[in-house]
Each structure stands twice: as structure tokens, then as C-alpha cells.
Amino acid sequence: MPNAHVIGLGKSGIAAARLLKRQGWEVTLSDRSSAASPEQPRLEREEITVKVGYSWHPDADGSTQLVVVSPGVPWDIPALVAAREQGIETIGEMELAWRNLQSCPWVVITGTNGKTTTTALIAAIFQTAGWNAPACGNIGYAACELALESAKPLDWVVAEISSYQIESSSSIAPRIGVWTTFTPDHLSRHYTLENYYNIKARLLRQSELQVFNGDDAYLREVGANWQDAYWTSVKGKAHLIGNTQGTYIEDGWVVFQGDRIVPVSALRMVGEHNHQNLLMSVAAARLAGIDKEAIAQAIANFPGVPHRLEHICTVAGVDFINDSKATNYDAAQVGLSAVASPVILIAGGEAKAGDDTSWLQTIQEKAAAVLLIGDAAPTFAQRLKTVGYSKYEIVETMERAVSRSAELAPQTNARVVLLSPACASFDQFQNFEQRGDRFRELCLALV
């Protein structure tokens, strides 16, 4: 029996291990963290070996023929580099899913920001059209879970894919590829902007049809390389790139190739960036052959995405909004731009590299106060001070941030309290979802 080793004991790794086991592999699943998984006893009953507090390396294990990595595992760690040098096949969990599901058409969404909303909206439209088209990847199911779940045949796979997953998935060739935005992010992993761009571009080149955000400055700059793509613009037809076979807004309507599809006002989410997400979603739906009625119905019923400008509650006329998914400066700037001012902003966490200029400028324009939490608080305080903004307080924890925001809101006439951290969450929380859930709990306790 051939041997496979799966690295990463999260949802993706567990699904990959089960899929390989079903296909007749002898499977070991390991994680360098020593925390046990609640799934461990069940996995061991399924004859999948689980090793926690263990870092796999080919030199210590001569029997492995296939290595599958979870999305969070860096592609260039020494063990994986050594495995590839020794000719051991090394792939990502998404690649394994593709190999098992490629008989079904895929629509794949990538980009720095906007992926999750666009993926959720596309999945909602496809499902309203009556298709079995679950969202997977970074939202919804792990992709390998779909390959395991064969109760009802899939019509489409709707996958949100990060640069990490593209890097480890060389053969994915979707029917439709969507590129939402492109700004510096994950440079601690990809090192250069060019490298980061090339990883995403490879996925789009392997897509039969391509949809691009034509309002993204970087993507517009490289537009000449993608003449056959379907471009979008919230600014109207005149702003489309290439052969104008695009999707745009005209007189308050989303127009696809000259055909009015749905009024922009049907979407309940705030912010121009969400109009852009709407355009890309409509383009993907029309390219997949979905009729206008299903598109309009899905958009009218779409509630938005948790942790992305999610309205939690209104207390004494102040809206509390959860934008925990804004884990970099660009996403946080977009979130801050989308809400009514004056705003009390809660920001901080584990800082990332990036250009904070636009974010700081929007704070100066819109924020009545900034409450800083987490490891980044002293650095952010210094940056705010440097640009001459003084209405910040270091409050350290989410608990203090929410209670302080409730005190400050009436004093500053703030209309919104916004959690939009511009940071990863790993200093105080396991992930951005846990951070947003805690914010939600604290806000609802104020009601």
C-alpha cells in the first residue's frame, strides 16, 4: 500500500487524509503543534495515524511517496524543499481536490481583498439558479470535503483560493477565473510583489475565461497582458479595458455586455468596493449561463458575509460593525471608507508589512477616535502621532475597546463603531473569525 503524509491537522488536512485513505493510501497526518484535535480518536479508528508535536522531514522517513500540505503551511519550508529535491510528489490540499473533482466545472476566485464576499455572492447566485454549487477553499467547505461528499453530484465548484493554495496546486485549470484586487500582502511569505503577482497570474492563465476588476490600479496597469479577459468597472463602459466585453454600472444598473441585469440598489451591502464585487459576480454568473431572474433574486436575498462590514447592532443610534476580516491596511482602508462618519475605529493585532499611507489619511478624514489593541498598538500609536493624529488611546484588549467605544460614542457624536483591525489576529486570537465573534458578543452585551 502506498504511503502518504498530510501536514496540518486543520479542516483541510483532515479532509485530505480521509480522501487519501478512501483511495487506498496508508496515511499519516501530522502537525507541529502539540495541541490534540477532537477528531483524533475518530481518525485513529479510521486507521489514519495522527502525530502531534511532530515536524515531518523526508530524511527521517524514507517511505513516503506523496506529501499533501494544508493551506497554512509555507511552500518553501526545508522539509518540502528537500522532498521535492528527492522526487517525492508534494502537493496542496486544493490540488488533491482538483484531481478528484476536475470532471465538474470550477469557478475560482483569487485576489488580495474582496475574495470572500465575491465567492459567497457567486455561490449564492449559482445555488439560486438551482445548481449544487457549494463554496469551498477559504470559506465554506475544505475542497477535499466536497470530494468526500458524494451524496449529490456537483454542478459547479465555487472555490476561494489564496496565493498559498495556488502555489501548491500546479494543475488547477478552472472554467472561470476571477481576480478581485492586487495589493502588497503576504510579502513575508512571497518576498517580492512580482513573485506574488506571478503566482496569481498562473491560475488566471490556466482559466478558460477570466474576469478582472478593472478599477484596481495594479490590474489596470497590466491590463494589456489580458486583452481577452472580461473586465469590470463601477465607473461605466468608458473605463473598461480591452475589447469592452465587460460588466459595468450605468444609470444605477449592472450591465453585462450591453444587457441590463440588476439594479445596483438590490445589493444590501455598503461601499463601492462591494459594487465591484457585485460586477465580478454577475460576470461569472452570466459566463456560466445563469439567467437574469436567478441573479436578481440571489442578490436581493444576499445577507452579506460575517466579519466583512457585518452590522452587529445599533445602540443609542450608533451602529456597531464587525470588519474583523480586514487583516491588512488596504482592506481596513476600504472598510473605513465604506461606513458613515464620524467613526470610532478599533484597530490593531499582529501587524503586517505594507503601505499604511491611504489608511492613515482615511483615519484623519473620518475617525473621531482610534482605540488600539494587541501587539501593534504602540507602533500604530507612533504612526498616528507621526501624521499629526492625536485622538488615539491604547486600550490593549477587545473588552476594553468595546466598553470604551460605548463611552466615547455620545461624547464624539460618532455614528459608527468599527472593528477593522488592519492586522492579523494571532497575537490574541486563533483567527480573524474568533476575533470578530468576540467583538460581536461584547457588542450584543451592550444592547
- Binding site membership for ATP: which residues? 111-117
CA 447 to CA 329: how far, in whole Å? 30
What residue type is assigned to position 369 of the chain?
A
Nearest residue to 443 via CA among 386, 390, 402: 402
What's the distance, CA 139 to chain centroid?
7
What are the cell numbers at 185? 500582502
Contacts of 256 (CB under 8 A, 6+ apart): 247, 282, 283, 286
CA-based nearest residue to 297, from 247, 258, 262, 269: 262
Q: Which residue has the cell 483569487?
A: 110
**Residues 6 or more apart from 173 whose CB is under 8 A from it?**
102, 206, 207, 208
- Return d(Cα 69, Cα 119) in angstroms, integer: 23
Distance (Å, rounded) from C-alpha 153 to C-alpha 49?
Answer: 30
Residue 247 and residue 283 in contact, taking contact as beta carbons nearer than 8 Å: yes
Angle made by CA atoms 168, 173, 179, in degrees to the nearest 5: 80
d(CA 188, CA 273): 26
Do residues 436 and 306 lie in contact, with contact meaning Cβ atoms separated by under 8 Å? yes
Binding-site residues, please? 111-117
